[in-house]
Amino acid sequence: MYVCICNAVTESAIREAAAEGVCSMAELERRTGCSGSCGCCAEMAAQVLHETLVQCAPPHVLLTAAA
């Protein structure tokens, strides 16, 4: 599914970027162009990025982040 129509960035591309170490919207934009044009996709892209980071993070990272 396309998340960013302007730059043809898919949900799977965002998940791949997160799995490869992208952990912020600024990094995601630099890498994929996502949200760099009209910005309409920013909220959805951030949600996909966040979901993926939470799923991929080792448990000790989540505990540290919550503290």
Residue closer to ligand FES (CB basis): 47 or 64: 47
Give me the phi and psi of 60, to 5 degrees please. Answer: -65, -30
Contacts of 33 (CB under 8 A, 6+ apart): 4, 6, 7, 9
| Contact (Cβ atoms closer than 8 angstroms) between residue 5 and residue 32 | no
Closest approach, Cβ 18 to ligand FES, in A, equals 17
- For ligand FES, the binding residue among 8, 19, 26, 37 (CB under 6 A) is 37
Shortest distance (Å) from residue 61 CB to ligand FES = 28
Determine if 39 is a binding residue for ligand FES (CB under 6 A).
yes
Euclidean distance between the first and the last CA atom of the chain, given in angstroms as a whole number: 34
Q: Using CB under 6 A as the criterion, which residues of the chain lie in contact with ligand FES when the complex forms?
A: 4-7, 34-41
